[in-house]
Structure 1
Amino acid sequence: MAKPFNVDFIGIGSGKCGSTWFFENLVQHPEIFDGNPKEINYFSDLYDQHEFAWYESQFKGCDDRLLKGEFSVTYMYRPGAAERIRRHFPEARIIAIVRDPVQRTFSDYLHAIRKGDIAGSTSFAEFIRNEEHLKFGCYTQYLEPFFASFPKEQIKIIVLEDFNKDYARGFREVYEFLGCQDVDFLPEGVEQRRNQARSYRFLFLENIMVRTYRMLAKSGYTRLTEVIKRTGAPELLRRLNVSSKPLPKIDPDSREVLSSYYSGEKKFVAELTGSNLSAWQ
């Protein structure tokens, strides 16, 4: 009799907190399926569009002896995602990555330009006047449904700045959390970052590329987007399109506004993780 389909872990966010880098390194572990998909967005955007069998099909080819899981940053922000995940996988390990919300918001601003969601001439001060652009750094409200749906010991909150100080320790703690036997494995190329912000000579070309990825992902073609990325062609095009123009920086007034706005988040994450958050603004 076939075993019921199950996943061992699900990453829920947060966006612009290094999830691509983290996931691509995590799946290098020999006890974790290296074909695990990223950004399925099933429990957020696609739950009403596809049967559960479609979700299961995204893990085709996985050896049952290996750990299965995925990372979709939309899960943290979508109402109902936590309960949906619990309904299907009550024993899954939940992973969330957070970073200084001031820096996260600035990274989101650069990404919004890259996606073409805002004009390249938009200043950061203008961007943060829209409170909708600040909500994704409000970790408290988005993590609460997961703590209401899962036991605390099944949830791991990673503070990106702490993780970056000691990769070996950070991954060891994650492997222990997931129940891996080899907790001392260190991924190859762990110091190489992914999805870092850049200036582009022809911004519209980057806009087209990112919007195409987004359209495919929202239509359920996650595996196709991963295949395209792994060819290396998108990264090659980006390198050819990179400009030497320096990226903008956070102006002092905006930093002060956001530091005040997110002061409660710093207290919440510090209490939750035991970190002193010394790298946060």
Structure 2
Amino acid sequence: MTAPAWLGIGAQRSGTTWFTDLLCQHPSVGLGTNGKKEQHLLHKVGDGLESRAAYLDLFPTDGVARGEWTPQYLRHSSAPFAAKGLLAPDAPVLAILRDPVERFLSAMRLAATRAKSPWPYPVPITVQTFSGFYADQLAMWANAVGRERMVVMVYEEVRRDPQRAVDAVWRRLGRAPVPLVDVDRPSRSSSAASWEPPAGQVESLRVLYRPQLARLAEEWDLDLSSWTTLTR
């Protein structure tokens, strides 16, 4: 049978492209056969818009632990149960979480970089605001795939010691760690535009996200002391 050996689900603008590149430095860890980091298919399978085979055929049993990392899956309510039925039995589900206010601002800079519609745009602001509700989204995923599958990392900690973080995932995949190279290579998904939030928006985000902070620390045993925008 074919199936992903690992799955990355989020969070958007939390170093997932960079981390996936590091993860795939292992000679027996890789992406689907089309070479894409993000497949954007799980939620479509869940919604009945794509076949299971269209997804599973990307991950043959060939000695390589193949997977993908689509950050939008974290907030997609149709993706978790689709994943439950498609993942290999022991496949870990990976998430990297960044300070949600900083993540929001980064996402809006990317939206500004790619903007093709008039400015301002309420839909991206609304979507990116919701994207910071990590505790709720992780609870949705844990309910579907099982808490024991979940590997939840803090972006700021991963940046400080990427070798340790990647080694932990490789061990979950049954792979002996190897030394990383080019750890500081610039990401392929960097933003080029600037974006300034409206007056008061950052303070509103702090109020929205602080309850998430407490839940993440309690439910996932995360050290979030580096998320300074929420602890000021």
TM-score by length of 2: 0.84
CA pair 248-56 structure 1, distance change in 2 beyond 3 A:
closer
Larger Rg: 1
Who is 2:172 aligned against? 177
Q: Runs of 4+ in structure 1 displaced over 6 angstroms? A: 126-129
CA pair 129-197 structure 1, distance change in 2 beyond 3 A:
closer
Please say if residues 140 and 265 of structure 1, whose CA atoms lie closer than 8 Å, have aligned partners that are also in contact.
Answer: yes
Who is 1:209 aligned against? none
Cα distance in 1 between the residues matched to 2:27 and 2:124: 46
Correspondence 1:116 to 2:115: yes
Correspondence 1:186 to 2:133: no
Tell me the alpha carbon deviations over residues 209-237 of structure 1, each in whole angstroms, 9 at most, x when there is no partner. Answer: xxxxxxxxxxxxxxxxxxxxxxxxxxxxx
Gaps of 5+ in 1: 200-246
Q: By how many angstroms is 1:119 displaced?
A: 4.5
Cα distance in 2 between the residues matched to 1:56 and 1:270: 35
Who is 2:70 aligned against? 72
> After superposition, where does 1:114-153 map in structure 2 within 5 Å?
114-116=113-115, 119=118, 122=120, 131-153=126-148
- Paired amino acid for 1:82: P
Tell me the alpha carbon deviations over residues 172-211 of structure 1, each in whole angstroms, 9 at most, x when there is no partner. Answer: 222222221x22x233211123122223xxxxxxxxxxxx
> After superposition, where does 1:105-254 map in structure 2 within 5 Å?
105-116=104-115, 119=118, 122=120, 131-180=126-175, 182-183=176-177, 185-194=178-187, 195-199=189-193, 247-248=194-195, 253-254=200-201
Cα distance in 2 between the residues matched to 1:177 and 1:114: 36
Identity among equivalent positions (%) equals 23
CA pair 143-11 structure 1, distance change in 2 beyond 3 A:
same
> After superposition, where does 1:38-49 map in structure 2 within 5 Å?
38-45=37-44, 47=46, 48-49=48-49
- Paired amino acid for 1:134: T
Correspondence 1:14 to 2:11: yes
SS in 1 for 2:37: coil
Who is 1:271 aligned against? 218
Cα distance in 2 between the residues matched to 1:68 and 1:135: 30
Q: By how many angstroms is 1:139 displaced?
A: 0.9
Q: By how many angstroms is 1:127 displaced?
A: 6.3
Q: By how many angstroms is 1:98 displaced?
A: 0.9
Who is 1:219 aligned against? none
Who is 2:85 aligned against? 87
Correspondence 1:29 to 2:26: yes
Q: By how many angstroms is 1:103 displaced?
A: 0.5
Cα distance in 2 between the residues matched to 1:50 and 1:251: 39
Between 48-57 and 259-268, report the one with greater CA deviation: 48-57
Cα distance in 2 between the residues matched to 1:248 and 1:42: 30
CA pair 117-169 structure 1, distance change in 2 beyond 3 A:
same
Cα distance in 1 between the residues matched to 2:210 and 2:42: 30
Gaps of 5+ in 2: none
Tell me the alpha carbon deviations over residues 74-131 of structure 1, each in whole angstroms, 9 at most, x when there is no partner. Answer: 22122221111112226221111111000111011111112215546x4xxx969954
Cα distance in 2 between the residues matched to 1:135 and 1:30: 37
Cα distance in 2 between the residues matched to 1:49 and 1:132: 22
Cα distance in 2 between the residues matched to 1:179 and 1:89: 16
CA pair 83-271 structure 1, distance change in 2 beyond 3 A:
same
Correspondence 1:51 to 2:38: no
- Paired amino acid for 1:265: Q
Cα RMSD (Å) of the superposition? 2.6
Q: By how many angstroms is 1:46 displaced?
A: 5.1
Cα distance in 1 between the residues matched to 2:147 and 2:205: 29
Please say if residues 44 and 74 of structure 1, whose CA atoms lie closer than 8 Å, have aligned partners that are also in contact.
Answer: no
- Paired amino acid for 1:52: R
Cα distance in 1 between the residues matched to 2:36 and 2:50: 16
